[in-house]
Structures are given as structure tokens and as C-alpha cells.
């Protein structure tokens, strides 16, 4: 009797960003674009500037206590999240921050299993008014021990990594790296490739048709994803 496959629930992604034009091209391309066409996921961007009151659509201001740079104001971000409406299932809200928990593939699988909706808030400048995190009860999350200009790249990384764990997004479940042995080196046609008069060949083991031997070779040259 076959074991039941656990249904992964993360389907809706909302990205709160001052620069939606940075997000849209990537989110609508390739695998993510096809996943949206198949209605496996939805990706929405919301601009906090749309919820400002002044003619300049000001979403940031000087930090209290002095210091360099500007801080994103709380109200526009909170209203942007409010505009999403009532959560249709379990909603997780995360702020992109280099001080957050380190994101990895295990965390991507966890988010995919844990939430129906994922909201990713992109910071800019010197950060976001701390009251946003307190009010939304959100969590900080980081894609690496470094600082970027804004949270859009981290948000796209998380979107991409989590979406891969939603059934049907990749088409072939075997494409998920954590389910197989991934070799450090991979090859494709032609078998012999000549560059600047020097020939580069594919390892003979990969041409042998011996699947067990190939898997053994991959195990020695790569790592097993957890």
C-alpha cells in the first residue's frame, strides 16, 4: 500500500515592496510564471506608497534619535498588509532582514508545509519602523550574512525556494534536489567538446548506462541533500 503524500499548502505569496517593477519580471518568468498560469500559486505585489496621504507618496522618514539614512514608516506598510484582506487559511508574515533567522532549503520546506499564504515585507534604507513587527507579530528572515540595498532579492529567493516544494510547480517531483543525490559536476551533449584545440570529454561512467554505478559516482562527487 502506497504511503499518502502530505499535501503542501503554501499557494499564495504577497510581496510588500516600494519597487514592484523589480519583482514582477522574475515572478512572471520561467517556472514561477508557469506555476501561476496553472493556478498552482499566486504572486501579488503591494506598494506601500499607494497607502500614503501626501502628494509625494512619502513612505519613509528620518529616524528618531538621529543617525544616517531613512526609516520606512509603519502606517503605509500596515495598510498594505491590511489591503490583502482576511487570511484564507494560515498566513505567515516575514520581514526581510540580515538580522533574521537564516533561510535554507529546510526552512523552505517548512514554510511550504506550514502556510497557505506567505507575506514577504521588503525593507529599504535603514530598515522598517519596529512597530510593524510588533503589530503584525511577524518574523525576521535572512538569506545570508550580508546587507543588500533592499529586500526584493531576498523575497524573490524565498518565493522561488518555497514554490519549488508545492506539488506540480516543478512538474517532476524528482527535480527536487533534497530527494536525490546531486553531483557537483553535471554534463550534457556533446560527448566530446573542443575548446581552443583542447578536447574535454564526459566521464565514461555517465555513458555506461549502469544506473547503480552512476548513482555511486554521484554520491562520491556530490552531496546528499537533507
**Domain identity same for 43 and 142:** yes
Phi-psi region of 184 (alpha: psi -120 to 50; beta: other; left: phi over 0): alpha
3-class secondary-structure state, position 179? helix
- 4 lies in some domain: no
pLDDT at 217: 83
**What cell was used for 97?**
532582514
Using CB atoms within 10 Å of the CB of residue 194, give its burial: 0 to 12 exposed, 13 to 18 middle, 19+ buried. exposed
- 169 lies in some domain: no
**Domain identity same for 212 and 152:** no
Q: How confident is the prediction for the chain on average, in pLDDT?
A: 88
Tell me the average pLDDT across 95-116: 95
Taking the C-alpha atoms of residue 11 and residue 32, their distance in angstroms, rounded to an integer, is: 12
In 3D space, the residue among 155, 159, 165 whose CA is nearest the CA of residue 110 turns out to be 165
Q: What is the pLDDT of residues 54-65, one digit of tens each?
A: 999 999 999 999
**Domain identity same for 22 and 64:** yes
**Domain identity same for 30 and 105:** yes
Which residue range forms the structural domain that includes residue 211? Answer: 181-224
**Domain identity same for 117 and 203:** no
**Domain identity same for 89 and 136:** yes
For residue 224, pLDDT over 60 is answered with no
Q: How many domains does the chain have?
A: 2
pTM: 0.84
Half-sphere exposure of 74 (CA within 13 A, CB side): 9
| Beta bridge partners of residue 92, listed in sequence order | 118
**Domain identity same for 97 and 209:** no
Amino acid at each position: 500500500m502506497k504511503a499518502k503524500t502530505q499535501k503542501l499548502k503554501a499557494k499564495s505569496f504577497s510581496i510588500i515592496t516600494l519597487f514592484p517593477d523589480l519583482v514582477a519580471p522574475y515572478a512572471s518568468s520561467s517556472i514561477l510564471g508557469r506555476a501561476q498560469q496553472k493556478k498552482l500559486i499566486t504572486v501579488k505585489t503591494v506598494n506601500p506608497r499607494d497607502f500614503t496621504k501626501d502628494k509625494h507618496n512619502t513612505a519613509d522618514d528620518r529616524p528618531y534619535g538621529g543617525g544616517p539614512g531613512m526609516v520606512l514608516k509603519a502606517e503605509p506598510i500596515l495598510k498594505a498588509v491590511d489591503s490583502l484582506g482576511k487570511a484564507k487559511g494560515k498566513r505567515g508574515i516575514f520581514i526581510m532582514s540580515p538580522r533574521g533567522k537564516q533561510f535554507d532549503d529546510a526552512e523552505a520546506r517548512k514554510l511550504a508545509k506550514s502556510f497557505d499564504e506567505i507575506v514577504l515585507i521588503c525593507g529599504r534604507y535603514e530598515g522598517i519602523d519596529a512597530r510593524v513587527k510588533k503589530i503584525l507579530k511577524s518574523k525576521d528572515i535572512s538569506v545570508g550574512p550580508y546587507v543588500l540595498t533592499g529586500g526584493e532579492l531576498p523575497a524573490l529567493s524565498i518565493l522561488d525556494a518555497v514554490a519549488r516544494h508545492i506539488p506540480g510547480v516543478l512538474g517532476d517531483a524528482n527535480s527536487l534536489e533534497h530527494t536525490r543525490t546531486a553531483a557537483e559536476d553535471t554534463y550534457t551533449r556533446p560527448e566530446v567538446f573542443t575548446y581552443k584545440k583542447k578536447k574535454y570529454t564526459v566521464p565514461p561512467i555517465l555513458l555506461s548506462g549502469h544506473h547503480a554505478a552512476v548513482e555511486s559516482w554521484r554520491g562520491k562527487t556530490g552531496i546528499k541533500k537533507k
